[in-house]
Structure 1
């Protein structure tokens, strides 16, 4: 609760109860209340009561907004926590099977993938094609990725954001870079940085077409767009997930989310 509002409310309540009596005592001491004085006293009392009601309304509005913010933040944390739990329960950790180099893709196929993303969403800015072949990470890059990823497992999101930001900057074109951008987006979501998260997810789609995290990034773009109030864009992203990756877990999540959007 805003301390300033509390002080104003306390002051108004004090005036509401003390001012009439103080004025009444002064008038009685001077020979009683005149009709005009009584009318003024009543007007002041009504004014103070209206101000108190107005302050109560403001407090209720602020309380409602705070409740919505807490619920939204909790939902984001639960979503990321579920994803982390699923990865931790797998027989092999995510960094191990992400370290293999991405398969070679012909330039014409890569161009088609970029055009499909641009035409279906009309939201991503055109960017240069991703490299035809991504290099496998060096031992140093793999260690940096594992360290950053472990920070997420430990729920140390502030340090995880710093670590992944440094990772994608230091190693911009290996097979783990797309994963780095994806997890950077997830961490920013937990911290309430929705617009920055959109930038990270969009980078996966623009710079790493065909990446294993592309479908998850599209799904997250849809949900975050909906949270930011852009329903049309959210539907476009989610429908794109279903159309391009119909048998994926992301497609099932997208279909479920779409059914809840009005």
Structure 2
């Protein structure tokens, strides 16, 4: 019996050792795998952190460049706005100088235009007319007409275009037989053009051409009609009007302008 107990104890001890050995053998890889899993996770976290930082750097750089571009655009916009304001000022100055030039030229030309003076034949005819009509003729005052015309012209010179248009139109209606009426009608057309109403400008200038075809303003009125027709998109009308200038007024300065415009 004692020998059998010893054998049994000895076998039990051996079994325990074997089990412990097996546990050690099979448990070691699992522990090692756990250690490798932690290192892989740390490595992935580190890589993710690096990539995130790189993306943030890229985003910050893009935002910084965008801010610089916006600032550059603002500066360019301010520069262009300054140029536009300068060009507008120069344009207004040019228009003002052009108006002054035309008005001065108008005054010089009027000095060479024939002034109305009653002839002997006219006086005889007036004497044969009724007294009421003769009184109406006598009421005409060239000096007053001249002042009225100059007043309208000064409105145009002061760039009060709408008021000038009304004044020129009123003068033409009040003094249809005045030697200044063709001029007033011509400037009425220019006033309508300055007010961006080409149709009314054409109508006013056509009155000059049709009613006073031999007046010095007639060829210039045709040139102005052609300009308005061009702005209205009437290319055929432009060509016809410029050719009319060449036919009717070949020796005028307007004819030279018509030739140049027909070449374009």
Match of 1:201 among 205, 212, 232: 205
How far apart, in 2, do the equivalents of 1:192 and 1:70 lie?
A: 18
Question: Is 1:160 matched with 2:161?
Answer: no
Return the structure number with greater relative CO, CA threshold 8 A, min gap 6: 1
Q: Name stretches of at least 5 consecutive residues in structure 1 with no aligned partner.
A: 1-32, 102-135
Please say if residues 98 and 176 of structure 1, whose CA atoms lie closer than 8 Å, have aligned partners that are also in contact.
Answer: no
Deviation at 1:210, TM superposition (A): 2.5
Residue matched to 1:222:
226
CA pair 151-176 structure 1, distance change in 2 beyond 3 A: closer
CA distance, structure 2, for counterparts of residue 165 and residue 186 of structure 1:
12
Q: Is the 8 A contact 2:148 2:171 kept in 1?
A: no
- Cα distance between partner residues in 2 of 1:73 and 1:45: 42
**Displacement of 1:150 after TM fit?**
4.6
Aligned equivalents of 1:168, 1:160: Cα separation in 2: 12
> Could you say which structure has the higher helix fraction?
2
Superposed displacement of residue 67, structure 1: 5.5
How far apart are 1:58 and its partner, in Å?
4.5
Is contact 1:160-1:187 (8 Å) kept?
Answer: yes
Query: What is the aligned residue count?
Result: 190
Check the 8 A contact 2:149/2:180 in 1, yes or no. Answer: no
Gaps of 5+ in 2: 1-51, 119-136
Deviations 1:22-61 (A, max 9, x none): xxxxxxxxxxx94333222222222233334444555565
In structure 2, do the counterparts of structure 1 residues 87 and 72 end up closer, same or farther at CA, with 3 Å as the change threshold?
same
TM-score of the superposition, structure 2-length normalised?
0.52
Q: Deviation string for 1:129-148 (max 9, x for gaps)?
A: xxxxxxx8962687345423
- Decide whether the 8 Å contact of 1:204 with 1:211 is kept in 2: no
SS at match of 1:97: coil
Give the secondary-structure state (helix, strand or coil) at the position aligned to 1:210.
coil
Aligned Cα RMSD in Å?
4.2
